[in-house]
Amino acid sequence: MKEKILITGGAGFVGFHLAKQLLATRDVELVLADNFQRGRADNDFNALIDNPRVTVLTLDLTDPTVYSTLGNGYHHVYHLAAMNGTRLFYEMPQEVLRVNTLALIHMLEWFRKNNKEGKFCFTSSNEAYAGGLSAFNQLPIPTPENVPLVIEDTYNPRFSYAASKLIGELFVIHYAQQYDFRALIVRPHNFYGPRAGYAGHVIPDFCVRTAKKIDPFPIFGAEDTRTFCHIDDGVRAMIMLMESAATDKQPVETVHIGDTREIKIENLATLLFDVVGWKPHHLDKKLSPPGSVKRRLANCEKLKTLVGWKPEIILEDGLRMTYEWYLKNPGPQ
C-alpha cells in the first residue's frame, strides 16, 4: 500500500521540488494543498500533477472550514505553506504574521484530531534566529540549532516573517509534546534552484538581471556572507529526516539544513558571471535592507549525525542549472 503524504504549499518552490523528488524516489500518493496566491500552476507544475499519484486541493489554510477536505491517513505531513519573500515582509507584515500563524494553528488542530499517528514537519527559517546575530554579535559561527531566537526590532516589518517562524516553532514543540505526536522542525538556509520565484531572493534576482544584461549591476549587501543550498539537496535532507526514526523522539528535533560554503554576495554575483560567460562593466553596490544580518553560516552537524546527509550539488553547477531555467522562463516582463 502506497504511503500517503500531504504537502501544504505544494505549488511553491520547496513544495514543488519536494513533491517531484518524492514521486521520483518513493512509491507514494501525494496530496498538494495550495491557495495559488504565490505558488503557480505553470508548465512545470502542470507536468507534475499529470501524475495519477497526485491530487491537488485549492485551499485557504487560514479558513478553519476547509480542513474537512484534507481527510486523514497521512504518513507524513509537510507544512510548507507560508507567505515568504523579503518584499512582502516590508509591504504587508500584518498579512505575513496573520497568514503564517493562523494556518499553522489550524493545521496543528487538524493534525492532532485527525492524523495523530502520522508525522508533522514544520518548515521554519534561519530568520528565526537572525536577529540575535546582529543584536548581540556573539552567537557562534557556524551557528547551531540551540541558540536564542530573537526579534531584534519589533517595529521593523522585516521581522514579521521571523516572528511567525519563531512562534511557529513554539507551537509545534508544545503541541507535539502535549498531544503526543511525532514532529520535526527544519530550518532551511537559503535554498535556491529553478522555479524559486522572480523577486525578493538573491539568486533569482541575479539570474534575471544577468539574463537581461543589466549594467550597472545592482548588488545589495555586497559584503554580506551567506551559504546557498541547492533545492534538490535541501528536499532530500527533509525526506531523510522525516523517514528517520532518529527524529521520532521527544522533545521535537530542530535541524538546520544548509551548505557549508560561505560566500560574499558580491562574490556570488561574480561566480554567476563566470558560469554564464558574461559580466557587467560596473557593479552598483548598495547597502543591505535594514535588519539584514552581515554574516550567516549554519552548523549542520546535527543533520549529518542524524541521517548522514551531505550536499551533493556544488554551487557552480547549481547556479548553472538555475540560470538556464530562468533563461527559458523569464517571468513577468
Note the pLDDT tens digit of each residue in 131-176.
777 667 678 889 999 988 888 889 999 899 999 999 999 999 999 9
Query: What is the β-pairing status of strands 225-226 and 263-264?
Result: antiparallel
- Name the amino acid, one letter, at 88: L
Closest CA to 108 of 73, 144, 67, 147: 67
pLDDT at 57: 98
pLDDT at 317: 98
Question: Coil, helix or strand for 43?
Answer: helix
pLDDT exceeds cutoff 70 at 271:
yes
Mean pLDDT of 247-271: 95
Q: What is the pLDDT of residues 22-39, one digit of tens each?
A: 999 999 999 999 999 876
Positions of E strands within the chain: 3-8, 28-34, 54-58, 76-79, 119-123, 182-188, 191-192, 217-220, 225-226, 229-230, 253-257, 263-264, 283-286
Residue 129 near residue 139 (C-beta atoms within 8 A): yes
pLDDT exceeds cutoff 70 at 291:
no
- Name the β-bridge partners of 194: none
The CATH code of domain 3-193+228-260+297-311 reads 3.40.50.720
Boundaries of every domain in the chain: 3-193+228-260+297-311
pLDDT exceeds cutoff 80 at 79:
yes
Grid cell listed for 135: 543584536
In this structure, of 11-15, 234-238, 292-296, the range with the lowest mean pLDDT score is 292-296
Grid cell listed for 259: 551548505
Record the pTM. Answer: 0.95
Q: CB under 8 Å, gap of 24 or more: what pairs does 69-74 form?
A: 70/6, 70/31, 70/33, 70/110, 70/114, 71/31, 71/114, 72/114, 72/115, 73/4, 73/115, 74/4, 74/5, 74/6, 74/31, 74/115, 74/118
Place of cell 541558540: 147
pLDDT at 38: 76
pLDDT at 110: 98
Residues 6+ apart with CB under 8 A from 77: 5, 6, 8, 107, 111, 115, 118, 119, 120, 121
Q: What is the pLDDT of residues 36-65, one digit of tens each?
A: 987 688 999 999 999 999 999 999 999 999
Mean pLDDT of 223-252: 95
